[in-house]
Amino acid sequence: MAGEIHDLSKKKPPREIVADVCIVGSGCGGATAAWVLAKAGRDVVVLEEGGDFTGPELTGRDGAMYDQLYMDRGARVTADLSVNVLQARVLGGGGVINASDVVPLSDAVLRHWQKRFDLSAFSPEALAPYKKRALEDLSASRIAEDHVNRANALLRQGTKALNLRGEVMLNNRVGCIGTGTCLIGCPINAKKNPRFVAIPGALDAGARFFTRARARRILSGEQEMKRIEVNTLDERGYRVVGHTQVRARIVILAANAVASAELLLRSGLGNQHVGRNLMLQPQLPVTAIFKEPITAFRGIPQSYAVTEFEVDDHPEHGLWGYRIEGIMGTPGMVASLLPFSGIEGKRAMQLYDRIAASLLLVIDRPSGNVRLSDGRLVVDYWQKEDHKARLRDAIKQCARIYFAAGAQRIIVPTTPPLVFDSEADLTRVDSVRFDVASAPLLSAHQQGTIRMAPSSRLGGADPTGRVYGTKDIYVFDSSGFPSSSSSHTMTPILTVSRFLADRLAAEA
């Protein structure tokens, strides 16, 4: 019997929902696990706090879409206000709002996990078929040349002029028409994300999805049957309007590295490692102004990456260094990231069609944690000095690339702003300290918080994803990653979730 999507804001929820498996989160980890386990004959229920938005419901309007597609309406920040923590709250998860970047989990990172973290099961050979399947699920392909817009082409032009390494990126779009609104959802459903691949597959196998369903607490985590307390939300997801509970033998957390840890903490489950070892991969936007129109808001926003400064085999950290990737946003996004306000801000936005922008994606090591304070979620993060040093270097390299491509001016949104009119100005970067809340750092690839390890002394979950101190409660999202998996986490999460779900299906 085919499953269904139930919107709990539109009808009174059942008093109780019973299933073999309850999955919290419907993104890359949760939807993939639901698909695998439902096909294996398990009765699967998936809880999603957000709503279901597809096609024309994805309006391209900044305010409305941030309100409905992002956790805390896109305003979630670290405790010191330094990093904007961007997370999805929608059926299909982060794949609905990301830039469709497909960056597989490298063999070098897997070998690092084996050697440094003693995750012997995560060998390149064992994960190879799952990496292949993840690419198939995503319909991954190299972005076509006619979809590399002018802004990304200029980034490539400057990269080649300086003889640096770069690449046109892989993506999971099919039938893209270049609306440029990827970060607030694709109105023509061109992204082959979990909403259009794993969720339909899971539904066909009988899985049930409940939207506007906020998992609040897991009870009886050490017992055979778990109870999950669920708040049901109103149509816009603003208020709690009801309650239900799910009873299940197996619970899988796949709500992202922040929310999965938060749920365990609210439930009093897991060991001392839960919530620790958070990685945010903070990114900084850089804007280049050109003389001629660029029209970067048309076409694929992120199609070219400078990979010269990224390594995946650092002996201590595995994935390390940084990437420079072209990007563009809608007017509201861009205005919020330019370091100007008032009349000066209006003048800057008059140059909107002459802007080319990049994100400096600097890989980090565990530098934060997730905790509760008086029942409220707190995300702590302390930017390390090595991260600041690589960020300064990334600013210089990005500016050189844009100047080599003919940019007239480079703007970096620090406080005070860095404005470069030539390479001679770049020495000013050395004095940037990156004090607290002095630059609009963005995080889209949170990892860690329930790291997998061979013993409870070293981590929060065992190598099968089972949370230490619980019976059959698992983590199948990026929470379990012991170090940065990739510069973009969609594909690694799909890969690892299918790997872990296959093993669970064989044992359960």
Look at residue 333 in the predicted model and tell me its pLDDT.
85
Q: Cα–Cα distance between 166 and 163 in angstroms, integer? A: 9
Encode the chain (508 residues) as per-residue pLDDT tens digits.
689 999 999 988 999 999 999 999 999 999 999 999 999 999 999 999 999 999 999 999 999 999 999 999 999 999 999 999 999 999 999 999 999 999 999 999 999 999 999 999 999 999 999 999 999 999 999 999 999 999 999 999 999 999 999 999 999 999 999 999 999 999 999 999 999 999 999 999 999 999 999 999 999 988 999 999 999 999 999 999 999 999 999 999 999 999 999 999 999 999 999 999 999 999 999 999 999 999 999 999 999 999 999 999 999 999 999 999 999 988 888 888 888 889 988 998 999 999 999 999 999 999 999 999 999 999 999 999 999 999 999 999 999 999 999 999 999 999 999 999 999 999 999 999 999 999 999 999 999 999 999 999 999 999 999 999 999 999 999 999 999 999 999 999 999 999 999 999 998 6
Give the position of tokens 């205005």.
Answer: 335
The token pair that represents 104 in the structure block: 């597989």
End-to-end alpha carbon distance in the chain: 21
Strands 304-306 and 409-412, sheet pairing = unpaired
pTM, to two decimals: 0.97
Peptide bond into 124 cis (omega under 30): no
Look at residue 59 in the predicted model and tell me its pLDDT.
96
What is the maximal distance between C-alpha atoms in the chain?
68
Q: Cα–Cα distance between 211 and 47 in angstroms, integer? A: 6
Look at residue 292 in the predicted model and tell me its pLDDT.
95
Look at residue 1 in the predicted model and tell me its pLDDT.
62
453 near 446, Cβ under 8 Å? no
Look at residue 329 in the predicted model and tell me its pLDDT.
87
Q: Which helix (H) or strand (E) holds 503?
A: helix 490-507
Give the position of tokens 């639901």.
Answer: 34
The number of beta carbons lying within 10 Å of the beta carbon of residue 7 is: 17
Q: Cα–Cα distance between 74 and 84 in angstroms, integer? A: 8
DSSP 195-220: GGTHHHHHHHTT-EEEESEEEEEEE-
Q: Which residues contact 164 (CB under 8 A, 6 or more apart)?
A: 306, 308, 397, 401
At 311, is the secondary structure helix, strand, or coil? Answer: strand
Residue 106: CA count within 13 A, CB half-sphere = 17
The number of beta carbons lying within 10 Å of the beta carbon of residue 10 is: 10
Neighbour-count burial of 303, counting CB atoms closer than 10 A to its CB (0-12 exposed, 13-18 middle, 19+ buried):
buried
338 near 348, Cβ under 8 Å? yes
Q: Cα–Cα distance between 322 and 157 in angstroms, integer? A: 19
Q: Which helix (H) or strand (E) holds 377?
A: strand 376-381
Look at residue 335 in the predicted model and tell me its pLDDT.
87
Residue 15: CA count within 13 A, CB half-sphere = 0
- Tell me the residue type at 13: P
Q: Cα–Cα distance between 260 and 268 in angstroms, integer? A: 13
331 near 353, Cβ under 8 Å? no
At 56, is the secondary structure helix, strand, or coil? Answer: helix
Q: Which helix (H) or strand (E) holds 319?
A: strand 318-327
Look at residue 343 in the predicted model and tell me its pLDDT.
92
The token pair that represents 250 in the structure block: 């197996």
At 54, is the secondary structure helix, strand, or coil? Answer: coil
Q: Which residues contact 506 (CB under 8 A, 6 or more apart)?
A: none
Q: Cα–Cα distance between 133 and 80 in angstroms, integer? A: 40
Look at residue 458 in the predicted model and tell me its pLDDT.
97
DSSP 238-286: -SEEEEEEEEEEEEEE-S-TTHHHHHHHHHT-S-TTTTEEEE---EEEE
Q: Cα–Cα distance between 55 and 186 in angstroms, integer? A: 7
DSSP 116-175: HH--TT--HHHHHHHHHHHHHHTT-EEPPGGGS-HHHHHHHHHHHHTT--EEEPEE-BSS
Sheet containing 376-381: order of strands: 376-381, 368-373, 276-279, 447-449
The number of beta carbons lying within 10 Å of the beta carbon of residue 263 is: 24
Phi then psi for residue 265, to 5 deg, are -65, -40
323 near 290, Cβ under 8 Å? no
Look at residue 195 in the predicted model and tell me its pLDDT.
98
381 near 83, Cβ under 8 Å? yes
Size of the chain in residues: 508
